[in-house]
Amino acid sequence: MLVLSRKNDQSVVIGGSNHSEHMLKITVLEIGHGSVRLGFEANQDVPVYREEVWERISRPRDPPAGGPDRARSGGAHGMATVFSGEGQGTGPNSVRDSV
């Protein structure tokens, strides 16, 4: 595990293979009251999950009785986008999870 220290408004960039554009940029937005607010900027084709969401969707599950797994249809790569948080899902105050 790589451990880094960052202050408010400082970022970490996870780069693409060609080093010309980043795949994921994580910025510390606020530190205080026992928590840290992070902002994530990711290419649209890079899924970004909270850990508990990732664990839920990565568990194998049985298809529903009576037919194919219809719950996974729709969206890019069979995933729908869920927005939560304060913004409209694309700004620095929002969270984008694919489920």
What's the pLDDT score for residue 70?
Answer: 45
Mean pLDDT of 59-70: 68
**Is 28 a residue whose pLDDT tops 70?**
yes
Q: Are residues 30 and 62 in the same domain?
A: no
Q: Are residues 39 and 15 in the same domain?
A: yes
Cβ-contact 23, 44 below 8 angstroms: no
Q: How large is the average pLDDT for residues 37-66?
A: 87
Q: How many domains does the chain have?
A: 2
CB contact set of 99 (below 8 Å; sequence gap of 6+): 53, 56, 57, 79, 80, 82
- As given in the structure block, the two tokens for residue 46 are 């890079």
pLDDT tops 50 at residue 18: yes
Give the domain extent around 84: 47-99
Specify whether 60 is located in the same domain as 96: yes
The pTM score is 0.56
Residues 25 and 72 in one domain: no
Between 64 and 97, whose confidence is greater? Answer: 64
Q: What average pLDDT score do residues 47-57 get?
A: 93
